[in-house]
Chain A
Amino acid sequence: MNGTSPLLIVVAAIFTSNILLASFLGMCSFLACSRQIGTALGLGTAVIFVMTCTTAINYGIYHGVLVEGAPLLSTDLTFLTFIVFIAVIAAFVQFVEMFVERFSPGLYHALGIFLPLITVNCAILGASLFMVIRSYSFFQSVGFGFGGGAGWALAITLMAGLRKKMGYSNVPKPFRGVAIIMIITGVMAMAFMGFAGMVSIQ
């Protein structure tokens, strides 16, 4: 990747190439946990934190161990990328859970159920894979992880607000449930396309 500023990547990851609305990642928990604004915010915060840290760790492991001629192990192990990344994410989430439980019980109870859910959130793995495909530098990766998480949190919070409002509207019967949510997400994605001219990363 060229020398795009990490700050620019943060902005772009939130608005122009939102990880949920443009790359479709993290849909499952987006659909399941967007009923309440509080829940959405809690999960969003957890995702921002985990995504920023796991992209940083995965960057270190990928460039330190896996690629050919890496400083720690010179064999080409890139075919192990998927399994290493998912193991790192699972282990990190487990570690954070234990750490938070020990040192901040209040936060633990607030985030409690969301932390395990994050392991299976494909946005987290997706961010690490995008990092490899777009060959970001370290700071660009961290910026992308943070921006991606923030973009996801923004989208799920917006959706939670909209679902609250939608409780008062009369939705046609076949569309009730997931169908109408997909269509609203489509409209949201169109709205976010309005940012497209601002910055672009690929």
Chain B
Amino acid sequence: MSGNSSCAPGGACGKGLCGGLCKQTLREGTWGNNPISMQILGICSALAVTNKLENSLVMGAALIFVCAMSNLLVSLLRNATPRRIRMIAEVAIIATFVIIFDQILKAFYWDMSKNLGPYVGLIITNCIVMGRAEAFAMQNPPVVSVVDGIANGLGYAAVLGVIGFFRELAGSGKILGHVVLSPDWYSGNQVMILAPGAFLALGFLIALANLIKPVKEETT
């Protein structure tokens, strides 16, 4: 939804295997134009599943998979897709890969599937995946589109990992279920596990990102 069009210009990477462009795409997705901290996309799941580091990592993996695969397929079909129905085609492609991931999770990691609840399904409406398919994969060849998908997924996963790390640490004194801050002298801060902690953590993270890499001022 953000009208950000700073992705690589379409067509520029049409020649052969893209060496420099892949690197640039990777850098853009993970840091320069990070989907969460810079473009403010896909916040819902970033907040909901980060109460434990483990959940955050699985969700990050899900997004890398879905984003890369849907970018690949959208890009392969980009010349065959009529402009008018491209949105619905993108949604159908994304939903397919989300279903695949959800079924894998249900088959092999039932507990994790229970933990994540509806948020796996909600990847369909995650604006990052849709945004990358629409803004990048529709204009670029398959290889660089996959790289873009992986880069954005990685950027998303990194932010989730950071938030999950601090929320689990502050909330229960554990990391990945291992006790780090002994309960003898550290009593977990429940707020960090509950909903408000997620909003606060993300707020401070975005502020920190702004501090390191100032963006053009926006009126509130």
Contact = CB atoms under 8 A, between A and B. Distances in A.
Interface of A: 21-29, 31-32, 79-83, 85-86, 90, 117, 120-122, 125-126, 129-130, 133, 163, 166-167, 171-183, 185-187, 189-190, 193
Contact of A125 (B43, B121, B130, B210): B121
B43 A31 contact: yes
A78 to B, nearest CB: 10
4 nearest CB pairs, A to B: A186-B199, A182-B203, A129-B118, A183-B203
A129 B122 contact: yes
A176 B42 CA distance: 20
A26 B45 CA distance: 10
A180 B203 contact: yes
A121 B125 contact: yes
Given A86-B95, A90-B88, A125 B196 contact: no
Could you say which of A29, A79, A83, A90 has the most chain B C-beta atoms within 10 Å of its C-beta? A83
B124 interface: yes
Nearest to B206: A179
A24 B44 contact: yes
A32 B220 contact: no
Contacts of B95: 82-83, 86
A69 B210 CA distance: 54
A167 B191 CA distance: 28
Contacts of B122: 25, 122, 125-126, 129
Given A23-B48, A82-B102, A125 B124 contact: yes
B105 interface: no
A129 B121 contact: yes
Contacts of B92: 83
B202 interface: yes
Contacts of A133: 117-118
B16 to A, nearest CB: 36
Interface of B: 1, 40-45, 47-48, 88, 91-92, 95-96, 98-99, 102-103, 117-118, 121-122, 124-127, 130, 191, 194-200, 202-204, 206-208, 210-211, 214-215, 217-218, 220
A182 B200 contact: yes
A179 B210 contact: yes
Contact of A176 (B88, B126, B218): B218
A83 B118 contact: no
A120 B127 contact: yes
13 contacts: A21-B195, A23-B195, A24-B43, A79-B99, A121-B125, A126-B44, A163-B220, A175-B207, A176-B218, A182-B202, A186-B196, A186-B199, A189-B199
Contacts of A180: 203, 207, 220
A81 B121 contact: yes
Given A24-B47, A130-B118, A187-B196, A82 B210 contact: no
Contacts of B127: 28, 120
Given A81-B121, A125-B121, A126-B122, 8 more contacts: A24-B45, A79-B103, A80-B99, A82-B124, A120-B125, A176-B220, A177-B220, A193-B196
A125 B44 CA distance: 12
Contacts of B211: 174
Contacts of A120: 1, 125, 127, 130
A117 B47 CA distance: 21
Nearest to B212: A174
Nearest to B200: A186
A127 to B, nearest CB: 9
Contacts of B204: 179, 183
